[in-house]
Amino acid sequence: QGKYTTKSDVWAFAVTLWEILNLGRRVPYEHLSDEEVVQSLRQLHHAADCGSHGSSNANPEDGCKEDSGGGGGGGNVGNNFDYLPRPTASSKDIYDLMLECWRREENERPTFREISLFLQRKNLGYAPTS
């Protein structure tokens, strides 16, 4: 929809974090063409809009259909959207953070302040090996 917010930046941050943890060796959504990525994200956005009518029922007047996709890591979300897989260099906690950043509903994604506090807590007591 061309609407960029700090919540869309949170999504992009998690994709960038995913790329870093893959050491730049993998491309996000490498199995899809650019057009397919855009289409999948449009479907995800549309599914989020359909789910925001205040009830669990889809609104056919808006072109909404029942969503059989579930949330969760590595699974299908909505019709054709898949989360990026967990990088081998990622702890479960960090991947869970990425999944939170990729939540369908923008208002369910963490803020950058919450992300920063989470990462600071993860860093407490960390001592790099020399």
Count CB neighbours of 79 within 10 A. Answer: 15
* pLDDT on residue 66: 40
Place of tokens 């939170």: 100
Mean pLDDT of the chain: 75
Using the predicted structure, report yes or no on whether residue 45 has a pLDDT greater than 80.
no
Could you give all domains of the chain from N- to C-terminal order, each with its CATH number? 1-47+79-125 (1.10.510.10)
Q: Which helix (H) or strand (E) holds 15?
A: helix 6-21
Predicted TM-score of the model (pTM): 0.65
pLDDT digits (tens, 9 = 90+) for 92-125: 999 999 999 999 889 999 999 999 999 999 988 7
Distance between CA atoms of 46 and 50, rounded to whole angstroms? 6
Left, alpha or beta for 81 (phi > 0: left; psi -120 to 50: alpha)?
A: beta
Q: Which helix (H) or strand (E) holds 57?
A: none
Lowest mean pLDDT among 46-50, 65-69, 116-120, 126-130: 65-69
Using the predicted structure, report yes or no on whether residue 61 has a pLDDT greater than 50.
no
Amino acid at position 40, single letter? S
